[in-house]
């Protein structure tokens, strides 16, 4: 069982959405992995995901309302096999926090898609369309990562 952590700035939009999408897709595929999400910053610790992210995700069958924001900590680098950064800024922070032997666990979320190392844009200051675009990219990334993981 692969242990996967999704990371974004506040753990209120992108990373909890990715966790919810993966959780639903794993259930549909009858696969089991341990999933969690975390923030690089402490802005929203203890809160639930952004209501706009919850609404967009729920409309596509990914309930994330019950998730609780937490911040990444050093123990996560040993606790998870795969740490997926939503953008290059998160990847830099994660690489700075991780020890040398933990670097190979860190990847960009879209790295297995044709988008390569493109960022998943932060929709926080945007419109509902931005949240929907975020979810489109997260679904694409989830499909690519699950294909990759199932082939190993």
CA-CA distance, 150 to 152, in Å (whole number)? 6
Check if 122 is active-site: yes
Tens digits of pLDDT across the chain (152 residues)? 899 999 999 999 999 999 999 999 999 988 889 999 999 999 999 999 999 999 999 999 999 999 999 999 999 999 999 999 999 999 999 999 999 999 999 999 999 999 999 999 999 999 999 999 999 999 999 999 999 999 88
Of these residues, 60, 65, 81, 122, which one is catalytic? 122
Phi and psi (nearest 5°) for 43?
-60, -35
Asked if CATH classification 2.60.120.10 holds for the domain at 3-150, the reply, yes or no, is no
Check if 78 is active-site: no
Name the residue ranges covered by the structural domains of the chain. 3-150
Of these residues, 8, 50, 54, 105, which one is catalytic? 8
Of these residues, 14, 36, 54, 87, which one is catalytic? 14
The model carries a pTM of 0.97
- How far, in Å, are 30, 53, 143 from residue 24 at the CA level? 10, 16, 11
The pLDDT of residue 151 is 87
The pLDDT of residue 54 is 99
Check if 14 is active-site: yes
Token reading at 95: 């690489």
Task: Give the pairing of strands 34-39 and 106-108.
Answer: unpaired
The pLDDT of residue 122 is 99
Q: Categorise residue 51: left if φ over 0, alpha if ψ from -120 to 50, beta otherwise.
A: alpha
């Amino acid at each position: 069982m692969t242990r996967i952590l999704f990371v974004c700035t506040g753990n209120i939009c992108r990373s909890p959405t990715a966790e919810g999408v993966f959780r639903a897709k794993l259930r549909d595929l009858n696969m089991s992995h341990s999933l969690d999400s975390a923030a690089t910053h402490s802005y929203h610790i203890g809160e639930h995901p952004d209501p706009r992210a919850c609404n967009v995700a729920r409309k596509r069958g990914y309930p994330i309302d019950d998730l609780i924001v937490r911040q990444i900590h050093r123990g996560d680098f040993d606790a998870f096999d795969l740490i997926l950064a939503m953008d290059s800024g998160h990847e830099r922070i994660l690489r700075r926090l991780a020890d040398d032997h933990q670097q190979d666990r860190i990847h960009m979320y879209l790295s297995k898609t044709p988008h390569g190392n493109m960022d998943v844009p932060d929709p926080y200051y945007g419109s509902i369309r931005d949240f929907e675009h975020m979810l489109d990219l997260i679904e694409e990334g989830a499909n690519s990562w699950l294909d990759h993981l199932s082939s190993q």
